[in-house]
Amino acid sequence: MGSSQKLNVARSFTQIVMLIQLSACSPQSTSFKTVCSNFDELLGLNNYSQMTSIERNTWLLNKSLETLPTNDMALQAWNAIANATASERYELYRDAALSTGLKSWNCESMELAAYEVGAN
């Protein structure tokens, strides 16, 4: 391997490490905002009213997975809370968001429709 190739490998490695560090430092608020904005988008779908609550949940998770890693806290929290009693979901998710250290968190679309997005 030539010296320029070694340099390229080293640069690539450094970039990967920086990316990992950046993703690790992302504030939780961004993740919870992402899930909320995906919820906004879900409610705006033309076929929303025709979808079952399981289909809506699957759409939300797939959409969130486009930008969030599977181990993201906001995503994992929704994944678990989607199985909770419908009427409790928003409060549970808000508690989850606040437990990450956020001073405040709310999501109007989720407050409005969390009960109809989930496993039941």
Binds other proteins by CB under 8 A, chosen from 57, 59, 68, 110: 57
**Count of beta carbons in the 10 Å neighbourhood of residue 64:** 21
- Closest to other proteins by CB, 11 vs 82, is 82
- Applying CB under 8 A, among 40, 41, 88, 108 the residue interacting with other proteins is 88
Binder to other proteins among 83, 106, 108, 112 (CB under 8 A)? 83
Which are the contacts of 31, defined by CB distance < 8 A and separation ≥ 6?
Answer: 68, 72, 73, 74, 75
Nearer to other proteins, 40 or 95 (CB): 95
Indicate the Cα dihedral angle 96, 100, 104, 109, nearest 10°: -40
Angle between helices 53-65 and 73-81 (to 10 degrees): 170
Do 41 and 63 contact (CB within 8 A), yes or no? yes
Among residues 43, 84, 111, 113, which is the contact residue for other proteins, using CB under 8 A?
A: 84
Q: Does 54 bind other proteins (CB under 8 A)?
A: yes
- Non-local CB neighbours of 69 within 8 Å, separated by 6+ positions: 23, 75
Q: In the bound complex, what is the minimum distance in angstroms from residue 38's beta carbon to other proteins?
A: 16
Footprint on this chain of other proteins (rule: CB under 8 A): 54, 57-58, 61, 73, 76-77, 79-85, 88, 92, 95-96, 99-101, 118-120
